[in-house]
Amino acid sequence: AQSVTQLDSHVSVSEGTPVLLRCNYSSSYSPSLFWYVQHPNKGLQLLLKYTSAATLVKGINGFEAEFKKSETSFHLTKPSAHMSDAAEYFCVGKSGGSNYKLTFGKGTLLTVNP
């Protein structure tokens, strides 16, 4: 079965500095991986997804993630944080054998300080 681990429950950065949100996965086969963002009292918005076509995936709002099979990681980065990036971020994988079931990480709360 696939599992997803977000290594930090809370990350705090200053506006204009880089963002790194870490995610490791475990899977016995090529995984499907996604990053979603959830702003307070809102639904989940897809930032990007790994489709095996390219290891570096570009998403919306300047975010990107790199799939590293050797490190079983799928870390999310952004060169320069904006105040509007403050939100909860979920690294998500697809459970083995199911087209429907997602495996969610526990989430990382990103705080952006002025």
Chain residues that interact with another protein, rule: CB under 8 A: 31-32, 34, 36, 41-46, 49, 51, 90, 94, 99-102, 104-107
Choose between 15 and 22: whose C-beta lies nearer to another protein. 22
Tokens of 29: 């086969």
In whole angstroms, the minimum distance from the beta carbon of 21 to another protein comes to 14
Rounded least distance, CB 12 to another protein, Å:
16
Rounded-to-integer distance, Cα 45 and Cα 39, Å: 9
Strand partners, 44: 38
> 5: exposed, middle or buried (C-beta count within 10 Å: 0-12, 13-18, 19+)?
middle
Smaller CB separation from another protein, 14 or 30: 30
CA-CA distance, 100 to 93, in Å (whole number)? 11
Tell me the closest approach of the beta carbon of residue 13 to another protein, in angstroms: 20
- Pick between residue 80 and residue 98 the one whose CB is nearest to another protein: 98
